[in-house]
Amino acid sequence: MTAARLHDDGLTRCPWPGDDPLYVAYHDNEWGVPEYDDRALFEKLILDGFQAGLSWITILRKRDNFRRAFDDFDPAKIARYDAAKIQELMNDVGIVRNRAKIDGAIGSAKAWLKIQEEGPGFSKLLWDFVGGAPKVNAFKTTAGVPASTPLSVKISKELSARGFKFVGPTIVYAFMQAVGMVNDHLVSCHCHARCGAMQRPARRSAAPARQTARRQR
């Protein structure tokens, strides 16, 4: 099925979450909602990297385990992971135990810290690619939704050049969908209009990188 689907609660949704309560809640409350927080964006990008070759629901079911194992995705802590910590992660059955992806998360944390310290800030770097506001698409079926776009290729190249790992164009586009840089809810989905109408929150005064890294969602 590629068209939006009417659920028993009377709401029409994109077809991909099916009837899984966890997936439906993620679809309704997170996917496509514009995210501007630097650390939250880092977390989502890392999790999308761990998803490579797997389904998102697999990562979603393990997300709490990932947050515990990766210090709530505090980049300042992840950047300092040593061999002992890496081995601890490799022994953790609650997460995806992939050495390349774990190493990639550490490298990406270092890249994130550099962007925070030297500018322009991770959120601004990403959102400037779409002019600071979500690009609202109007797909009627999932068959029309691309796996990647020229813009995701451009962002992928930028992130790779800055030292991020597991940021290919397809991963980046999935990330853009998830954090609301693009609104790819189908037009008949009840979330399409809501996500498309969301505005950027009032800008907070800049905080030092260490403070930003410690801030939790």
Beta strands per DSSP E along the chain:
5-6, 12-13, 135-136, 182-183
Handedness of CA 182, 183, 185, 187 (dihedral sign): negative
Q: Report the distance separating Cα 7 and Cα 10, nearest Å.
A: 6
189 is annotated as contributing to ligand binding: yes
Residue 190 labelled as part of a binding site: no
Is 191 marked within a binding site?
Answer: no
Q: Beta-strand (E) ranges in 117-174? A: 135-136
192 annotated binding-site participant = no
Q: Hey, what long-range contacts does 16-19 have (CB within 8 A, 24 or more apart)? A: 16/142
Supply the Cα-derived Rg of the chain in whole angstroms: 17
Which segments are annotated as binding site? 14, 27, 185, 189
Which segments are annotated as binding site for Zn(2+)? 14, 27, 185, 189
